[in-house]
Structure 1
Amino acid sequence: MSSTVTEATDPWCLRPGEADELLRDHPWHRFVVLGDSVAEGLCEPVAGYSDLQWADRIAAELRAFRPELAYLNLGRRGLRAHEVRATQLADALAFRPDLALVVCGGNDAFRPGYDPDAVDAELTAMVTSLRAAGADVLTVGMFDVSHSPAVPDTLRAGLGERMRRLSRHTRAVAERLGSMHVHLTEHPLVADPSLYSSDGRHGSARSDAVATAETLRVLAARDPGVQRVGGR
């Protein structure tokens, strides 16, 4: 990435005024986030890009149209999918969200023993419960961090295969359950080293800016005619 590129000039980020166009008249009042470190927000700063992390950025853009929006981020670093469900789902449901973002499975996929069916079951349980409670749900296939320069060459192929498998499975769960899905795994920038932090596990502020743009576009493309499971 050229050192002269900033968020304002980055062609993969939101254009001035685009968020207002995408989210005008959005229906959400209560936004909850469940997940691991990606949900919590551990992006590495990049000059010229906002330090506000991905989920907080989404909340801020939603609040720009609806200032009374209530926002709760339950994300905690290091959690596997079953731990996200066990420690966060009850609190998320108690919050009574009408929009939920669920981000999990990355810490499972980092392990050679990754069990996609087990992760699918945990994700299914969370999405089903949230939708039954009346929330629209977003899932995500994150950028394939195996492209990070900080990942050792000996681990890159195996990690990449697992991350792409996680993404395929997550998208299939979303399609089966009728939830919205943000697919970043095959984004044109996925192999760009500027998207990744120096720890080889997380993204940079640029990746959060790009992910925000893609997430808002998915939210804008929702079908307003679809009735929520809970009837809200």
Structure 2
Amino acid sequence: MTEETDPFCLQPVEAAALLYDAPWQRFGVIGDSLSAGTGDPAPGYAPLGWCDRFEGILRSVRPDLAYLNTARVGARTPEVVAEQFDRIRAFRPDLLHLNSGANDIVRRDPDFDEIERELRHMYELAAGTGAQLTVFTLGRAYVVPVFADWHDRLSRLNDITRRLASEFDAVLTDFWDHDFNNRPNLLSADGIHFSTAGQAVIASELVKQLAHRLGSAR
């Protein structure tokens, strides 16, 4: 399979057509490695993370697009807030992607009430920019085998993400049960980050969800 034959991937003309009337001119991204688009190259797919792919698609319909990605691999939610929000506020995005939480649950005994409070604070700050927010849930293919309760941890974090997305009117792209979780080339060698094959699908799914939001507003 290649990017051109992948049934989950939109071709550039298709993706641009879905966003032809997108109003966004300032695209910002904050968070951890999922926001950064970190991952190994996969044969047949362009060596790009989802965020740079999406930026290219949006730029094709908004040539004057401004783009800033402050995401840092390994960042926990309090670090995202402390390290990234000043730059994002100054950037003044009208479309803002935020993902965090995956590094918060990689602890011996995560406090999910605290995690939700910290994530809520992040969403409050993000909403304060006035931007349309977007967010992803984590896929079930993401596994940290050292934790026997990992599946439950992911489910609880995804539930928090869904609640906050609903409360703050964020466009949610839900990858928990997406069919690409079954693909052998989905993840990088570390078994954590999406390969560029996965990144290509993520970008396409975000385009579809934003197009749906635009269609509802027309």
What TM-score do you get using the length of structure 1 for normalisation?
0.87
Is the 8 Å Cα contact of residues 146 and 157 (structure 1) preserved in structure 2? Answer: no
Q: What is the alpha-carbon distance in structure 2 between the residues aligned to residue 223 and residue 66 of structure 1?
A: 15
1:7–1:125: structure 2 CA closer, same or farther, 3 Å change rule?
same
Letter in 1 for 2:7: P
Match of 1:13 in 2: 9
User: Once the 2 structures are TM-superposed, how far is the Cα of residue 144 of structure 1 from its aligned partner?
Assistant: 2.6
Match of 1:230 in 2: none
Q: SS of 1:169's equivalent? A: helix
Match of 1:66 in 2: 62
Letter in 2 for 1:133: T
Alignment of 1:136-215 (within 5 A): 136-147=132-143, 152=145, 155=146, 157-215=148-206
Q: SS of 2:120's equivalent? A: helix
Q: SS of 1:100's equivalent? A: strand
User: Once the 2 structures are TM-superposed, how far is the Cα of residue 96 of structure 1 from its aligned partner?
Assistant: 0.5
Is the 8 Å Cα contact of residues 140 and 183 (structure 1) preserved in structure 2? Answer: yes
Gaps in structure 1 of 5+ consecutive residues: 227-232
Q: What is the alpha-carbon distance in structure 1 between the residues aligned to residue 159 and residue 197 of structure 2?
A: 24
What TM-score do you get using the length of structure 2 for normalisation?
0.92
Is the 8 Å Cα contact of residues 145 and 160 (structure 1) preserved in structure 2? Answer: no
Match of 1:132 in 2: 128
Is the 8 Å Cα contact of residues 19 and 207 (structure 2) preserved in structure 1? Answer: yes
Letter in 2 for 1:190: N
Match of 2:114 in 1: 118
Q: SS of 1:109's equivalent? A: coil
Identity within the alignment, %:
39
User: Once the 2 structures are TM-superposed, how far is the Cα of residue 117 of structure 1 from its aligned partner?
Assistant: 2.4
1:117–1:223: structure 2 CA closer, same or farther, 3 Å change rule?
farther
Cα RMSD (Å) of the superposition? 1.8
1:191–1:112: structure 2 CA closer, same or farther, 3 Å change rule?
farther
Question: In structure 2, which of residues 60, 76, 80 is the aligned counterpart of residue 80 of structure 1?
Answer: 76
Match of 1:219 in 2: 210
Q: SS of 1:190's equivalent? A: helix
Q: What is the alpha-carbon distance in structure 1 between the residues aligned to residue 18 and residue 105 of structure 2?
A: 33
TM superposition outliers: structure 1 runs of 4+ over 4 Å: 223-226
Q: SS of 2:182's equivalent? A: coil
